[in-house]
């Protein structure tokens, strides 16, 4: 069964050891880079990043990372969740695990754990046909905006139907799932 788990002392090295195919390397930063980036975000940003190990049973097969930005921070002028990393190890690709994991990631974001937002954004290299097809399958529409060679696609997000109480509950669940010692 595919699940998204918080990064722990038990799985962080497995995340770092995941690899994409050689031809996919230009499409995504290494997981060691992403984990370093999430550490800096954790110490400096107002909200923690959402980082997950993608697991098949007890085996780590992928990695996902997202964050929330305010309308002021967003180049599109709307509060949003941005999925900045999503990968499945080369030995596990093409078996439907990416689709399953992405559906779980979207469910987590749709619970608005870091507060409400109007949209979810994802960016991908224009020659990354697998990513384009994966995201389009979930309803992401290309914005036409290209940043650093990457097409930005958008999915509307309706957090308004999520009552504030449930957003708070979702955030509590999220922080419990992602308990850490906090910035020192
Ligand atoms: C993109 C990626 C996560 C897909 O993971 P995966 O486990 O191989 O994907 P799945 O087997 O679940 O397939 C899901 C969908 O992706 C698309 N897809 C996957 N491989 C594809 C390929 N080689 N060509 C075209 N579409 C492909 C299809 O739409 C597929 O749905 P379908 O089978 O119903 O047609 C994986 O290829 C990957 O990690 N790539 C390298 C990192 C990367 O590019 N990440 C995205 C950065 S934005």
Residue 184 domain flag: no
The tens digit of pLDDT for each residue in 29-83 reads 999 999 999 999 999 998 999 999 999 999 999 999 999 999 999 999 999 999 9
Parallel/antiparallel/unpaired status of strands 80-88 and 119-125? parallel
Residue 183 domain flag: no
Question: What's the mean pLDDT when you consider all of the chain?
Answer: 92
Residues having CB within 6 Å of any atom of ligand 1: 20, 24, 27-28, 86-88, 93-99, 124, 128-131, 133-134, 137
Q: Please, are residues 28 and 85 in contact by the beta-carbon 8 Å criterion?
A: yes
Atom number of ligand 1 nearest to Cα 133: 29
Residue 24 domain flag: yes
Q: Please, are residues 153 and 135 in contact by the beta-carbon 8 Å criterion?
A: yes
**Does residue 27 carry a pLDDT above 60?**
yes
Give the CATH number for residue 60: 3.40.630.30
Other CB atoms within 10 A of residue 16 CB: 16
Atom number of ligand 1 nearest to Cα 87: 39
How many structural domains is the chain composed of? 1
Residue 182 domain flag: no
- Kind and range of the H or E run holding 7: none
Other CB atoms within 10 A of residue 68 CB: 24
Atom number of ligand 1 nearest to Cα 21: 41
Ligand 1 centroid – CA 114 distance (Å): 27
Residue 123 domain flag: yes
Residue 22 domain flag: yes
Mutate to test the pocket of ligand 1, among 130, 140, 146 (most ligand atoms within 8 A of CB): 130
What domain range includes position 143? Answer: 2-177
Distance, in Å, from the CA atom of 150 to the CA atom of 127, rounded to the nearest integer, reads 9
Residue 165 domain flag: yes
């Amino acid at each position: 069964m595919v699940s998204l788990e918080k990064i722990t002392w038990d799985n962080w090295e497995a995340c770092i050891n995941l690899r994409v195919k050689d031809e996919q390397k230009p499409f995504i930063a290494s997981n060691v880079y992403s984990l370093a980036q999430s550490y800096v975000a954790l110490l400096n940003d107002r909200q923690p990043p959402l980082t997950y190990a993608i697991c098949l049973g007890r085996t780590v097969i992928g990695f996902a990372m997202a964050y929330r930005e305010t309308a002021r921070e967003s180049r599109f002028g709307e509060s949003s969740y941005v999925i900045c990393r999503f990968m499945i190890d080369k030995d596990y690709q093409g078996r439907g695990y990416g689709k399953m994991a992405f559906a779980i990631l979207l469910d987590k974001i749709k619970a608005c754990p870091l507060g409400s937002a109007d949209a979810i954004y994802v960016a991908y290299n224009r020659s990354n046909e697998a990513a384009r097809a994966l995201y389009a399958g979930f309803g992401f529409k290309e914005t036409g905006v290209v940043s650093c060679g990457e097409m930005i696609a958008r999915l509307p997000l309706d957090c308004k139907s999520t009552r504030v109480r449930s957003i708070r509950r979702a955030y509590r669940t999220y922080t419990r799932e992602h308990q850490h010692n906090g910035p020192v």
